[in-house]
Amino acid sequence: MSGVDLYRTVRLIRRFEERAIEFVRSGEIVGGIHPYIGEEAVAAGVCAALRPSDVITSTHRGHGHVLARGVDPARLLAELMGRETGLNKGRGGSMHAADFGLGILGANAIVGAAASIATGAAWAYGRQGRDTVAATFFGDGAMNEGMLLEAFNLAALWRVPVIFVCENNGYATTMPVASAVAGSITGRARAFGIPAFTVDGQDPEKVLAATASAVERACAGKGPTFLECTTYRFDAHHTFEHRTRLTYRSTEEVSAGWSRDPVEIQGARLAAAERAAVDAEVEALLDAAAGDALGSAHPDPAAALEYLYASPEVMR
């Protein structure tokens, strides 16, 4: 992927999230979102290294991951608004976006749970003879979840082609990582014999390079890789903070985080005219997406039980 493409991805994610916050404030998105602002380089770099045959699993903070994987912004925005044209017909919402056609096996609101799904999927695809690598995203807060450690164990034992991507933004909601994780984050993965690396998660090109190496290793049958991407969340853990004004981070700390903005880091690698053209392209795309989403119908309440069961018959 070119530098322009990487910039387009981080810019798209940033502006999508900023617009989504506006729709939360207007009431078009009910219940709020977990903004990905500040962490865009991780999604952009990881997904740029993946092939069409590969898959991802995501988190409650998953908009950036699915956009970087190529999802239609109009369908994602419609999903956030609970509209019929959404990725999951308005029934998944912000924390459960999925598109199997693009290899997006779903975002997951349960901390650490998506890693076990990715590990199982990659193992199953391998049994079917498919050349598929799975990348799974999770935060530093997931490092204390048993499901994640079990996934490490099986992935290492079975040499599963999975890439564990820890987005270490320094906080599990409001708890600093130093207060929650004993030892080192990479040390947890190395204890299972998984090669683990710390990557600058604010630089899309560095994330891309590290992920490309992990993909190559997985394709060679060498098993899982763990990437700790050190990043920083510029906005709230959840938009409810915009009202409650939690004070677990100082103004100085947040300002320091903004000094390494992934959009600016990647944008600085482009010529001014090139960057302006991408910015205009992204705005036009999101203008159209907003129009499409707002023009889409809400699901019929009478169909609330559809898609809940594997059987075509609705249980009553």
Q: Per residue in 235-290, pLDDT tens? A: 999 999 999 988 999 999 999 999 999 999 999 999 999 999 999 999 999 999 99
Whether 219 shows a pLDDT value over 70: the answer reads yes
Find the mean pLDDT for residues 60-84.
Answer: 97
Contacts 24+ apart (CB under 8 A), 72-77: 72/289, 73/12, 73/16, 73/285, 73/286, 73/289, 74/288, 74/289, 74/292, 74/293, 75/99, 76/16, 76/289, 77/16, 77/19, 77/20, 77/23, 77/289, 77/290, 77/292, 77/293
Tell me which residue of 248, 96, 98 sits closest to 169, measured CA to CA.
248
Find the mean pLDDT for residues 287-312.
Answer: 90
On whether the CB atoms of residues 169 and 140 are closer than 8 A, the answer is yes
Find the mean pLDDT for residues 304-314.
Answer: 75
Q: What is the pLDDT of residue 308?
A: 81
Whether 57 shows a pLDDT value over 90: the answer reads yes
Listing DSSP states for 95-131 in one string gives T---BGGGTB----SSTTHHHHHHHHHHHHHHHTT--
Q: What is the pLDDT of residue 309?
A: 81
Whether 315 shows a pLDDT value over 70: the answer reads no
- Region label for 300, one of left (φ > 0), alpha (ψ between -120 and 50) or beta (otherwise): beta
| Least confident residue range of 10-14, 113-117, 305-309 | 305-309
The pLDDT tens digits for 144-169 are: 999 999 999 999 999 999 999 999 99
| Residue 316's pLDDT band (cuts 50, 70, 90) | very low
Whether 86 shows a pLDDT value over 70: the answer reads yes
Report the predicted TM-score, pTM, of the whole model to 2 decimal places: 0.95
Largest CA distance in the chain: 60
